[in-house]
Structure 1
Amino acid sequence: MVQGFNEEVIKMVMNKIYHYLVKIGANPEDAKDIVQDSFYKAILYIETIPPDKFSSWMFKVATNQFYDLRRKTKKISHIELEENLTANQKLIEDMLLAQEEKKKIYEVLQQMSDIYKHLLLLKYDLDLSYKEIASLLDMKEEKVKTYLARARQHFKKRFGRYYHE
């Protein structure tokens, strides 16, 4: 491995980016390709990437590649819902309700601005700290907190509409 970069850290970063890309709408194969291509670019530019900025750099490159791909293909993204149905009727009903809930959450997220969607996914899906999010998005920590509070309010308002229809 390249000096200053730990293989375990690189694998963890690549895994987080993959899951994040899938959450924001990339299909699993495209997400794998984007992560692989981003890592290839990291190898090419490794001398210019400070080790403490590797994660942010990879995240930015991968996110930009995702948006480039989305612009090129103009695909409508969708969530792949797991289907592990069993014979237990109560379990099936619970799973269907959970899938319906996931679909509603996804639909609300897709209606939100990209920055709000990214902030909510990074905080609540990937469990990143404010500091980590600020680093990844190249924002000040206070700005992340402010935008995240607005994103939560926006999400609650839109999500609440599903239950009042």
Structure 2
Amino acid sequence: MKLDGYESLIKNISLELMHYLIGQGAHQEIAEDVIQDVFVKILKMDIILPPNEIRPYMYRLARNQYVDQYRRQARFKKLLQVYLIPAAKQPRSTINGPQNNRLAKVLRKLNDKDRQLLKLKYLNNQSVDQIASQTNKSPAAVKMRLYRIRKKLRKALGDESNE
């Protein structure tokens, strides 16, 4: 099989997968991120799967990526609720541990704008477009800022696996 044909097959299946994830209730941004990860993983593989095996493999990979991302986001949201909501509103004893203490320290070191971005995105569940209009920034700038904040948090917690 020619590699160009293989890449176009993967691209077509990726678009199909994105519509599938959105149909299953995933937000478009999350579905796009998952599909991008799947697409890159498939292209980085050392082997070329036959056309009849690539679709089920990509569906399985996308489902696993989505579940992983959902779990990370749920955990991240829970931690943000504990450490970004003022102490008077939220008891701090709900999550303990050295990693969470490190996260609390890192969140306290973030500037107010970064903390506000995290609150808008993860606590208020606002879209990137909504945040962009509120902060008078472009959606691309908001996405990049959120990416850099998450990267900083992962680095502080010693998790380099999701870069």
| TM-score range normalised by the length of the shorter chain | 0.3 to 0.5
* TM-score of the two chains, using structure 2 as the length reference: 0.40
* TM-score of the two chains, using structure 1 as the length reference: 0.40
Higher RCO structure (Cα 8 Å, ≥6 apart): 1
